[in-house]
A and B are shown apart, each in its own frame.
Chain A
Amino acid sequence: MKHLIPEFERMKARFPAGFDSSLVLPCLHRIQADRGFVADEDIVGLCEYLKVPRIQVEEVLSYYTMLRREGIGKTHLQVCRNIACSMRGAEDVIEHACKRLGVKPGQTTADGKFTLSTVECLGSCGTAPVLMVNDAYHENMTLEKLDALIAGLS
């Protein structure tokens, strides 16, 4: 994470003075975007840099669902399984994705290309069913669109 410190400094400058503790989450986001996950050495480095106790970083890391301690597949497919999406066919989308990729939600394909996850409401219920391909929302999903998506990324 050391090479990210200049960026962290710019982030810090945006916050009021004395808000170093607030930087834990934005720094973890940035580290994960860089490495794909948060490693042990990142935790140690971040604690030193922000002068926060290790338990604080560990608690934040283990609480939020978007933060990870291990790498995942190249493409992260996250399918919403909450109410509005389920009412518009999300269950079929999840089943189809499992079949196509040969994995269960939470697993990564053997070639490391895809990780499939199910997530709760993404705040996009009007265009349900919805899934995320890495950072991007793909709305009004259909099984055909999903096939094309996976084929395009394989």
Chain B
Amino acid sequence: MPGRQLIMNFEVTPASHTLADYRARGGYETLVKALGMAPADITKEVTASGLLGHGGAAFPVGRKWGVMKPNPGEIHYLCANADEGEPGTFKDRWILEHAPHLLVESMLITSYALGVRHAFVYIRGEFDLPYRRIQGAIDEAYAAGLLGKPVPGSDFALDIVVYRGAGSYVCGEASGLITSIEGRKPYPRNRPPRLTVKGLFQKPTVINNVESLANITGIIRMGAEEFRKVGTAKSPGTQLISISGHIAKPGVYEVEYGYSWAKFLDEDCGGMLHGAKMKCVVPGGISTKVLTRPEIENLTLSHESVNPAGSGLGSGGMIVIAEGTCMVRLLQVLLRFYHHESCGQCTPCREGMGWMHRIIDRIVAGEGVPDDIERLYAISHANDGTTICGMGDAAGFATVGILNKFRDEFEYWIANKRSKMDGRLECRA
């Protein structure tokens, strides 16, 4: 096991997601403890824990909460981001399916801390079992008197609504998510104002990733000091890593920050598929830059180790790529995706994604020209920081990451009108 576990720390059985089993594991005891604390002290504890957001940007959770100064009598909202749209990422699904009550209890504690009366779980529309599990847990919590009316022994009450998306990547972006819940086309919004100042229906709103929230119960139960004993000083706690691609044992692993990356791949994940050699790895969702095997050899899975290498752990969506995989075709898949998902609001993103997609299609069709590589670079740079949401930059990062390291494959295809690697994305036995 890659270190200690804080979330995947129980045996999954056909009933482990139910209220009865969760209670038997000590579930909802931390809620009682939290309701005995002052709301501001909960935020203080979360800030002291150093918990970093797991949605992709690793933003300190306590700092986000700190912006929202809960004034009694005013309306504040909380949204759990369960959109899980970043390709390569499938870890929030584990929490929704197997530990839905951990999310509900964490949302109760968070809402109490932030003066929230109504909270939302925004879940991607395709998720069926995860939706039934989280809705089931919420229904159980209502029936048990934990939701909908004051929690026994307190005057704090919370309602949680599960809101289902309908197939759009940009709804995972915090402000796109809000516009989606408002019942409109999910255009992201320009900041400022920050969402913690003006969010859902213009009210202060905190949006956190499902996994970020799932950590709250543990932090309040054990206290920030104990929590910080797990992980490293700069990356406290654990991260759920969902690993896929050319790896022998794909799946969701909870990794203690600071664990050796090479050991994680070679031992915990069983090494490469069919004993292949590793070419590179996408560390945390397709928007993070690829790193080659030599680059990661001595790194640990922690922000302070991966960020200086020019990438990031992002959403924990790790994709392992074997030698022989064609990076031109791989980039084609990514650019098609970004083009498809651009909401079209910002010119550099809307037009840029279309141009990049057409250029890569042209290269693959054998009609590329040598200038195309510089064009891909130029469009990526033009997107950087010029768009409303992070998608413009993300597509650029992914493209530049691949071009920088595998430029020869692009030059080869343009010159020879065919792949240097036989055009495969698969890794055959």
| Residue in contact with A14 in the complex, picked from B161, B167, B201, B426, CB distance below 8 Å | B161
| Residues of the A chain whose Cβ atoms lie less than 8 Å from the Cβ of B129 | 137
Complex Cα spacing A136 to B244, Å = 21
A75: CB under 8 A from chain B? no
Q: Which of A26, A29, A63, A64 has the most B CB atoms < 10 Å from its CB?
A: A63
Tell me how far the C-beta of A47 lies from the nearest C-beta in chain B, rounded to whole angstroms: 12
A154: CB under 8 A from chain B? no
A97: CB under 8 A from chain B? no
Tell me how far the C-beta of A52 lies from the nearest C-beta in chain B, rounded to whole angstroms: 7
B426 touches A24 (CB 8 A): no
B87: CB under 8 A from chain A? yes
B34: CB under 8 A from chain A? no
Q: Which of B92, B250, B330 has the most A CB atoms < 10 Å from its CB?
A: B250
Complex Cα spacing A85 to B169, Å = 17
Tell me how far the C-beta of A56 lies from the nearest C-beta in chain B, rounded to whole angstroms: 6
| Residues of the B chain whose Cβ atoms lie less than 8 Å from the Cβ of A23 | 183
- Provided the pairs A22-B182, A126-B242 are in contact, do residues A64 and B84 lie with their beta carbons within 8 angstroms? no
Chain B interface residue count: which class? Answer: 35 or more
Chain A interface residue count: which class? Answer: 35 or more
| Residue in contact with B88 in the complex, picked from A22, A63, A91, A125, CB distance below 8 Å | A125
Q: Which of A67, A84, A91 has the most B CB atoms < 10 Å from its CB?
A: A84
- Provided the pairs A29-B125, A87-B319 are in contact, do residues A123 and B90 lie with their beta carbons within 8 angstroms? yes
- Provided the pairs A66-B126, A120-B341 are in contact, do residues A125 and B242 lie with their beta carbons within 8 angstroms? yes
B127 touches A123 (CB 8 A): yes
| Residues of the A chain whose Cβ atoms lie less than 8 Å from the Cβ of B128 | 135-137
Which residues of A are at the interface with B, using a C-beta cutoff of 8 A? 14-16, 18-19, 21-26, 28-29, 52, 56, 59-60, 63-67, 81-84, 86-89, 91-92, 119-128, 132, 135-137
- Provided the pairs A23-B183, A125-B319 are in contact, do residues A91 and B164 lie with their beta carbons within 8 angstroms? no
Chosen A-B contacts, 10 in total, with CB atoms closer than 8 Å, are A15-B118, A24-B183, A25-B164, A64-B165, A83-B334, A92-B426, A119-B167, A120-B169, A125-B317, A125-B319
Tell me the residues in window 267-283 of chain B with beta carbons closer than 8 Å to chain A beta carbons: 282
B93 touches A124 (CB 8 A): yes
Tell me how far the C-beta of A114 lies from the nearest C-beta in chain B, rounded to whole angstroms: 18
Beyond A60-B184, A120-B340, A121-B87, 13 additional pairs, beta carbon < 8 A: A16-B117, A16-B159, A25-B165, A56-B183, A59-B184, A83-B337, A86-B333, A86-B426, A87-B246, A87-B325, A125-B90, A126-B243, A137-B129
B166 touches A126 (CB 8 A): no
Tell me the residues in window 76-114 of chain B with beta carbons closer than 8 Å to chain A beta carbons: 84-90, 92-93
Which residues of B are at the interface with A, using a C-beta cutoff of 8 A? 84-90, 92-93, 117-118, 124-129, 159, 161, 163-169, 180-186, 201, 242-246, 250-252, 282, 286, 317, 319, 321, 325, 330, 333-334, 337, 340-341, 343, 425-427
Q: CB-nearest residue of chain A relative to B118?
A: A16
| Residue in contact with B166 in the complex, picked from A15, A25, A81, CB distance below 8 Å | A25
B90 touches A124 (CB 8 A): yes
Tell me how far the C-beta of B132 lies from the nearest C-beta in chain A, rounded to whole angstroms: 10
| Residues of the A chain whose Cβ atoms lie less than 8 Å from the Cβ of B319 | 83-84, 87, 125
| Residues of the B chain whose Cβ atoms lie less than 8 Å from the Cβ of A132 | 126
A-B pairs with lowest CB-CB distance, top 7: A64-B166, A125-B244, A24-B183, A65-B167, A121-B87, A66-B167, A126-B250
Tell me how far the C-beta of B268 lies from the nearest C-beta in chain A, rounded to whole angstroms: 14
B333 touches A82 (CB 8 A): yes
| Residues of the B chain whose Cβ atoms lie less than 8 Å from the Cβ of A91 | 425-426
- Provided the pairs A88-B426, A128-B244 are in contact, do residues A82 and B337 lie with their beta carbons within 8 angstroms? yes
- Provided the pairs A25-B183, A29-B166, A83-B319 are in contact, do residues A123 and B85 lie with their beta carbons within 8 angstroms? yes
| Residues of the A chain whose Cβ atoms lie less than 8 Å from the Cβ of B333 | 81-83, 86
A65 touches B425 (CB 8 A): no
Complex Cα spacing A85 to B372, Å = 27
